[in-house]
Amino acid sequence: MAVVRIENVSRWFGNVVAVNDVSIDITPGITGLLGPNGAGKSTLIHMMSGFLPPSDGAVTLDGEVIWRNADAYRRIGLVPETESTYEFLDGREFVRANAELQGLPDPGAATERALETVEMTAAADRPVGTYSKGMRQRVKMASALVHDPAVLLLDEPFNGMDPRQRLHLMELLRRMGEEGRTVLFSSHILEEVEQLASHIEVIVAGRHAASGDFRRIRRLMTNRPHRYLIRSSDDRALAAALIADPCTQGLELDPTEQALKVEAVDFHRFAERLPALARERGIRLLTVSPSDESLESVFSYLVSA
């Protein structure tokens, strides 16, 4: 049972606060670290993997501080975001070098096991420099798994992967979680986290915005007020109909944009009622577009939730 504990951790770079008083326990199973780009996810992973000291607070693995503790790497497998590996090595040489650096008694056997786990045995004799993004990610996984670590940290592992490669890596990570490893991966894509992690930690602007079961967070996200921009054949009549329905809480007729701005509080009801109300009143809907669907605004809502 390996637990990575982030305790009241802050990290600043000059005047910029990258991580602000975050406390999280990463326990066995799969945890998704979700947040928009620049939220502080990589900074947290760098601290968890011993590549950045916290400015304040402590990051520990089973009670031991990770920063400047080379022995911690016997229990940590790291899949960094960086694309670069030792391009002149072939896949097998690369994984074997990692096995040797771990000081394993039989690095050859460990290498073959790790290559089999990620299904890269067939391509293991090709130079890493010739690998596709997905193959590269798998061989990086093999290098992180070669010493059978209790903790696996992955920084944006799905970036740039095609759907097939993504599914394959998800299956692999699921297996790692089921085996009792502590698996943490970061992502800025909600759907990736939804498909893989039952437990989620959300980071927004360096702050710990939400934590827990995916469904709870998803509910928070879907229940937040949604803003829409609507153009119709009769905006004023549509506004009167919508404000009378409990699915909305605010309306604004915008003369400059010649549109109706609606704040919906019940997303599902709004999606059902809007076309029905328009049909009942003989109003033609010309434009219905969400105006705050960016991930940042979704996350921002979570911060204030």
Taking the C-alpha atoms of residue 209 and residue 15, their distance in angstroms, rounded to an integer, is 22
* Residue list 114-173, contact with other proteins (CB under 8 A): 143
The answer to whether residue 80 forms part of the interface with other proteins (CB under 8 A) is yes
Bridge partners, residue 153, by sequence? 78, 184
Taking the C-alpha atoms of residue 198 and residue 226, their distance in angstroms, rounded to an integer, is 25
Taking the C-alpha atoms of residue 198 and residue 212, their distance in angstroms, rounded to an integer, is 8
Considering only 21, 23, 38, 106, the residue that binds other proteins (CB under 8 A) is 38
Considering only 8, 13, 56, 132, the residue that binds other proteins (CB under 8 A) is 13
Considering only 24, 31, 40, 161, the residue that binds other proteins (CB under 8 A) is 40
The answer to whether residue 36 forms part of the interface with other proteins (CB under 8 A) is no
* Alpha-carbon distances of 119 from 2, 30, 141, 258, rounded to whole Å: 26, 21, 11, 57
Considering only 4, 5, 6, 11, the residue that binds other proteins (CB under 8 A) is 11
Taking the C-alpha atoms of residue 42 and residue 162, their distance in angstroms, rounded to an integer, is 22
Counting residues that bind other proteins (by CB under 8 A) gives 38
Q: How far is the CB of 267 from other proteins (least distance, A)?
A: 31
Q: How far is the CB of 155 from other proteins (least distance, A)?
A: 10
Q: Which region among 68-76, 164-172, 210-218, 221-229 touches other proteins (by CB under 8 A)? A: 68-76
Output 73 or 214, the one with its CB closest to other proteins.
Answer: 73
The answer to whether residue 105 forms part of the interface with other proteins (CB under 8 A) is no
Say if residues 285 and 273 touch (Cβ distance below 8 Å): no
Taking the C-alpha atoms of residue 294 and residue 248, their distance in angstroms, rounded to an integer, is 20
Judged by DSSP in three states, 252 sits in strand
Output 38 or 246, the one with its CB closest to other proteins.
Answer: 38
Output 19 or 277, the one with its CB closest to other proteins.
Answer: 19
DSSP assignment letter at 128: G
Q: How far is the CB of 158 from other proteins (least distance, A)?
A: 18
Say if residues 77 and 147 touch (Cβ distance below 8 Å): yes
The answer to whether residue 82 forms part of the interface with other proteins (CB under 8 A) is yes
Q: From its phi and psi, is residue 174 left (phi > 0), alpha (psi between -120 and 50) or beta? A: alpha
Q: How far is the CB of 278 from other proteins (least distance, A)?
A: 44
x/- mask, other proteins, residues 85-104, rule CB under 8 A, reads xx-xx-------xx-xxxx-
Taking the C-alpha atoms of residue 46 and residue 200, their distance in angstroms, rounded to an integer, is 18
In the Cβ-directed half-sphere of 154, how many Cα atoms lie within 13 Å?
33
The answer to whether residue 78 forms part of the interface with other proteins (CB under 8 A) is yes
Question: Where on the chain is the footprint of other proteins (CB under 8 A)?
Answer: 11, 13, 16, 18, 37-43, 46, 49-53, 68, 70-71, 73-74, 76, 78, 80, 82, 84-86, 88-89, 97-98, 100-103, 143
